[in-house]
Amino acid sequence: MTQLFDKIKEVTELSAISGHEGPVRDFLRQKLTPHVDDIVTDGLGSIFGVKQSTSADAPRVMVAAHMDEVGFMVSNIQADGTFRVVEIGGWNPLVVSSQRFTLLTRDGRKIPLISGSVPPHLTRGAGGPTLPSISAIVFDGGFSDKAEAESFGIRPGDVIVPDSSAILTANGKNVISKAWDNRYGVLMVSELAEQLSGKSLPNELYLGANVQEEVGLRGAHTSTTKFAPEIFLAVDCSPAGDVYGDQGAIGEGTLIRFFDPGHLMLPAMKDFLLTTAEEAGIKYQYYCGKGGTDAGSAHLQSGGVPSTTIGVCARYIHSHQTLYAMDDFLQAQNFLQALVQKLDRSTVDTIKRY
């Protein structure tokens, strides 16, 4: 588990919000290259390693994480040197205030920031505190005025990311970090590439990650359009509801995500997943999603692409501090390896047959 934690720490502490995925793309290029036959990208920056197959009429299978995390961009520099922002991806305003962030300038500077909050002393007699909109939250780097902030190279459009380090929980079973949505998927595909290195597959495998998932599943649209897979496996992290009496419990294994608002699992795909999980001894749980994944975009491309999500759940996602179980990652990795190695022409045709 120590080795796994070290890998998790490395990948979750990368900074890469939607549209600015370069650090994660570089990470994946380095990790995938030794284990695949080719590296390919699309016009938005999604990246995949390709493993060719010697099987006749091998189906094309895509296994795709997404590289981006949620964050902010500077929308305006105020006269007093503070900043206002626009959110990139979904944020609950309750988790934004009084947190540390890092602003990344165009020339590579890292500027420490804090998100402002109103102390109770200033709300007495005014009806108490109110929930601010994201656009009204003050981001403060301690600059005396706008000119000083600009002298550090800060401009509208600069990226702001959470400042958070990965740590283990006291029992050694779980991790607390930012960005497990979806550095989970990034680590899943890099580990899968290593485990399949040198092995012959019954499919032509496209293994990598899309861009801009957090702002509307955009990368999955462009990558599936370009590479035209017959089967699409999104690899993504979902919100755990266990502490709120809802579905999705950390430590209970990978997810059989049968529904979300943008995707319904096909019956033949569900049969394939459940049969494979039982045969491989995978610990799994059923999951009804309330948000979407790249499967929602991918399954609508190229005349229809049977898709699903190979996922885990984590508590408190889309914040500075997400809590999740390392064993869930191992269960999901074993599941993904078993699935990919079974997707031959006959299996894919069965999934697609109507």
Q: Which of 191, 213, 230, 252 is catalytic?
A: 213
Active site residue 213: yes
- Assigned token pair, 183: 């550095």
Residue 214 annotated as binding site: yes
Give the H/E segment covering residue 112: strand 110-115
Count Cα atoms within 13 angstroms, Cβ side, for 42. Answer: 20
Write out the DSSP string of 175-244: EEES-HHHHHHHHHHHHHHHHHTT---SSEEEEEEES--TTTSHHHHHHHHHH--SEEEEEEEEE--GGG
Non-local CB neighbours of 230 within 8 Å, separated by 6+ positions: 59, 60, 61, 305, 306, 348, 352
H or E, element range at 113: strand 110-115
- Tell me how many degrees the CA angle 318-319-325 measures, rounded to the nearest 5: 80
Helix axis angle, 180-196 relative to 326-342, nearest 10°? 50
Is 263 annotated as a binding-site member? no
Annotated binding residue 181: yes
42 is in an annotated binding site: no
66 among annotated binding-site residues? yes
Task: Name residues whose C-beta falls within 8 Å of residue 236's C-beta, 6 or more positions apart in sequence.
Answer: 65, 66, 181, 182, 184, 185, 213, 293, 294, 309, 311
Of 237, 348, 231, nearest in space to 287 by CA: 237
Annotated binding site for Zn(2+): 66, 181, 214, 236, 318
Q: Which positions are catalytic? A: 213
